[in-house]
Structure 1
């Protein structure tokens, strides 16, 4: 059975957060991984502007929290801080708006669905934390946002990808590639994931952190 991965678009999203994991999962499906990514939004089909001028992507469906599989939440792109005489929304503003948008009740329902794994790329975990959805969970985000995650009650781990069961998270923007390959490994096995690594000429970075196995002893 084909696994669904709904990638959520919102105004100001980071295109690389979306395209990195979307292309990895698409390639995995093409080589036999039986996984199908979708671009979705809370509002349904529409062209969604990213935070990068001139780039938008088209959502093909409304986010369905009842659909088994994955819901992928990207981060935003823009200036980190406001500049004088520049009204471009900053990344914190875009993530705060997303956290208060119509998408979050749907993401909350997805997180409550035992048949759904929610995966975040970069600032996506910050948006969920701002919406009050990650308290007590283990996650990571871009290094610039880890303090904010901790302030909202998230246990932050210094890792490229963090596996907290039905919550996966990845660090900075290019870690979406690593996250996509990890999802392929989880769903279709290491040979499919390795095949896509070879297609992309990309080697995964770091060890995926998960709360299992032996605790390392101090040296």
Structure 2
């Protein structure tokens, strides 16, 4: 399983690094059955996150035709951060700044590449936090089940997505995770689903992290109202 983690200007570092470390460890534990890289729509470059000017280097270009997983993080930052200082006139709400930052992604080549990836049956698209909002705002998730940070569930629902309040949601070739630390849970679930539970358990033990909640899937009987 090869995983491409997509970086874009203003991304949330933990959304990208948490699954990267989990999946990299999974590659070691599985004898190379998992590989992971940081990519961008533009190709190799330094990509500035939305957190304190921290940057990571994308080592390649996103290939929407390469079988495996394409993982999209969310955004981070506050109004007035250096990457956005010219775009704001006051100290507005953090979530408004993040929504604007995610909306900017729609003006890049990334939505076109993500559309190609999500239409390829050989590819699973995964997201952490606001990454699902990027796909939703690009019109790529209508009618699908997905989750995001709890502050963005209403926006996700407004785009025609069946928003689910769960830590991880498995909708077949679309797997989404909630708030930023859920990137750890997402990485472990990908290992369990694609490589096997023993590998996932070994990495979970290495990271001293116990996954939270039940992975939601559109299976089984619907619960009665409480």
Q: Calculate the TM-score normalised by the size of structure 2.
A: 0.91
Q: How well do the aligned residues superpose, as a CA RMSD in angstroms?
A: 1.8
In structure 2, the residue corresponding to 1:210 is in which secondary structure?
coil
1:147–1:198 Cα change, 3 Å: same
Deviation digits for residues 110-150 of structure 1, max 9, x if unmatched? Answer: 00000000000000001111111111111000000000011
Partner of 1:115: 122
Q: TM-score, normalised by structure 1?
A: 0.94
1:129 maps to: 136
The one of 164, 169, 179 aligned to 2:186: 179
Shift of residue 83 of structure 1? 6.7
CA contact (8 A) 2:204 2:210 kept: yes
C-alpha separation between the residues in 1 aligned to 2:138 and 2:165?
22
Counterpart selection for 1:212 from 195, 215, 219: 219
1:155 equivalenced with 2:162 (yes/no):
yes
Question: What's the CA shift for 1:218?
Answer: 4.7
For residues 65-102 of structure 1, what are the alpha-carbon distances to aligned partners after superposition, in whole Å with 9 as ceiling and x for unaligned?
A: 0000000000000127967268x991011100012311
- Number of the residue aligned with 1:73: 72
Counterparts of 1:85 and 1:13, CA distance in 2: 20
C-alpha distance in structure 2 between counterparts of 1:37 and 1:53, whole Å: 25
| CA deviation vs aligned residue, 1:43-64 (integer Å, no higher than 9, x gap) | 0000100011231011111000
Q: Is the 8 A contact 2:79 2:90 kept in 1?
A: no
Matched, 1:9 2:7: yes
Find the aligned partners of 1:51 and 1:217 in 2 and give their Cα distance.
Answer: 41
Alpha-carbon distance between aligned partners in 1 of 2:166 and 2:152, rounded to the nearest angstrom: 14
2:83 is equivalent to residue 84 of structure 1: no
Q: Which is further off, 25-34 or 6-15? A: 25-34
Query: Quick check: 1:140–1:171 contact (8 Å CA) kept in 2?
Result: yes
Q: Please name the residue that 1:196 is paired with.
A: 203
